Amino acid sequence: MNLLLTAIFLPLAGIALLWVFNDSARSAARWIALATSLVTLVLVGRLVIAYVGSHGADRAGLATAAKMGDGFADSGEGAGTAPDDAGDAEFDRPWISSYGVETHFSLALDGLSVWLFGLSALLTLSAVLVSWQTIEDRPGAYFALLLLLETGMLGVFAARDLIVFYVFFEFTLIPLFFLIGIWGHEERRYAAVKFFLFTLAGSVLTFLGLLALVVWNFYHATHGVLDFSFAGVTAGLVRHPLPPSLQLLIFLALFAGFAIKVPLFPLHTWLPLAHTQAPTAGSVLLAGILLKVGAYGFVRFSLPMLPDAAIVCMPWLLGLSVAGIIYGALVALAQSDMKRLIAYSSVSHLGFCMLGVFSLNRLGIQGGVLQMINHGLSTGGLFAIVGMMYERYHTREIHALGGLARRTPVMAFFMVLFTLSSIGVPGLNGFSGEFLLLSGAFQRGWTEAPEAWRFAGRVLSVAAVSGVILGAWYMLWLVQRVFFGPLREPSHDDAHDAAQHEIPDLRLHEIASLVPLAVFVFWIGLVPQHFLQPMAETLDPIARQIAVHERNAGQSGERPLLAADRPSQAIATEAGGSPTTASQRCPSTPGTQSGQSGEQPQLALGRDAEGVARVD
């Protein structure tokens, strides 16, 4: 049986087992959920390791060839494709093939989705473990919804057909709606309804935008079939680009759904309430995975399919991202509830992710995608720890707690670790992502912005750095107040005084839920290239495509072309070979086919005798 298909739908087998046991069988329900999520993680890990082992090695080989002067390394050929022996990592079967409709149940991994796919399985296991002793009401239904949510999350990142993507995209709303509405806190029903209505309204507009892309491709294709595959739609839009006005309209439709999902300021109002009212596992998965679906949609669809609209909207998108960074940080500083503080920190951190993506250059896009992974690890761990504290003290108020490092040193260690990860301390995962995306933002604002908004671009790039300072301020303030200083715990009546002095440190299952996240915090921080290499195969062609569209539209500032975004013709000429068109080298890369635009003068970046770059 296909390994990818098995990994995605294995949680449904766990749900079937949970159905056999009634809700009173709490122990059986949690063990079934644990076993199912653990086996799923093993299968997903095998897929991720196989992909990284083949594509990471290939990318390293291409980089070595580039250093030797072989321009083929940067041509993007084969970017985002699976190796020949990766049959278990792909699945494609006809789904709807009649009446001029061609929809396949198509699943595969690439550099953009592979780490998000793995993170989904990892955080689901953590979510099961943090719920081990906290769920007493209908545990079978609770764990079934967690496993159902896992299938939706895995499916949305593996989908390679627009219909399949949208089905999984909407499917994730249902289990989380019930998790918040049934097992949440005091205002859980209001929070669940608000979350559902916000995300559903945006999703409908997103679907209309995706459908418009398919219809445009249909009316300009020769085969006369409604093709919903990612590759088919992208290739069709390259051959027959949308007019600028229609491209902008569709971009805004996609923006509506994806920006709410992120959420991007000012469409974030549903998020703090949903986080605050959700059970701990719901907050972990919402922050760690589901918020990334919106950012993933921008990189998967908006940038490669609508590059001209992305370029036109770039100044406004960068402005919204920076506004979210600063607004989220300032509001987090004003919070007295730990969970709300971390919820608003997510608004700020996801603003950083989108700042990188909307910089529309190689550094920014890679940094933004890497920061999605980093945010999932650090914020997922922080929400888990806050849930563990709430389980012990039944309060999340910062003023009610203090000096807890004396009583719970292991919990304090993990809290400090994930806090340092969140604020981007060098050596931990947050630093590598923030460094790349801020480098991309400064590159955009100071060297690539057109004259019309160059000053604004520089102001935005500098203003974004304030988010780093504010982030360190509110997170270190939180840790200092809660875990250090004089011991301060909530007051209890006399009947509970004895139990008050027996507050346990982290239990074994709680430590097990945090250790895998901590391992990746160090791993990404110390060896980020191991995670960036597989991403580059998919993300670099997107950055090159946008650079070509910018030059054709005259939107970019004057600068020498970099190896990341030079047309392959200039690369081949520099390497001493015959000029080759981009379409010959990388036919799957949109925006580089001959006939797309008029002849453009190309710059070749050479090196003098001392290795210093020069423009030829």
Reported as a single tens digit per residue, the pLDDT across 33-85 is 999 999 999 999 999 998 888 875 444 443 433 333 333 233 333 333 334 44
Query: What's the sign of the alpha-carbon dihedral 193, 198, 201, 204?
Result: negative
pLDDT band at 554 (very low <50, low <70, confident <90, very high): low
State phi, psi for 456 to the nearest 5 degrees. Answer: -65, -40
Q: Is the pLDDT of residue 175 over 80?
A: yes
Nearest C-alpha neighbor of 103 from the set 161, 50, 172, 160: 161
State phi, psi for 175 to the nearest 5 degrees. Answer: -65, -40
Question: pLDDT averaged over the chain?
Answer: 80
What would the pLDDT profile of 513-540 be if each residue is shown by its tens digit?
999 999 999 999 999 998 998 888 889 8
Taking CA atoms, 435 is separated from 216, 276, 424, in Å, by 39, 30, 9
Omega within 30 of 0 (cis) for the link into 315: no
In the predicted model, what is the mean pLDDT of residues 185-192? 86
pLDDT band at 605 (very low <50, low <70, confident <90, very high): very low
Q: Is the pLDDT of residue 568 over 80?
A: no
Which ranges constitute the DSSP H helices of 131-185? 139-158, 162-171, 173-183
pLDDT on residue 567 = 39
Helix or strand holding residue 606 (H, E): strand 605-607
Query: What's the sign of the alpha-carbon dihedral 45, 51, 53, 59?
Result: negative
pLDDT on residue 70 = 36
Q: Is the pLDDT of residue 97 over 80?
A: no
pLDDT on residue 508 = 92
Domain boundaries, the chain: 3-64+88-490+502-537
Let me know: does 536 contact 433? Beta carbons within 8 Å: no
The share of the chain scoring above pLDDT 90, in percent, equals: 39
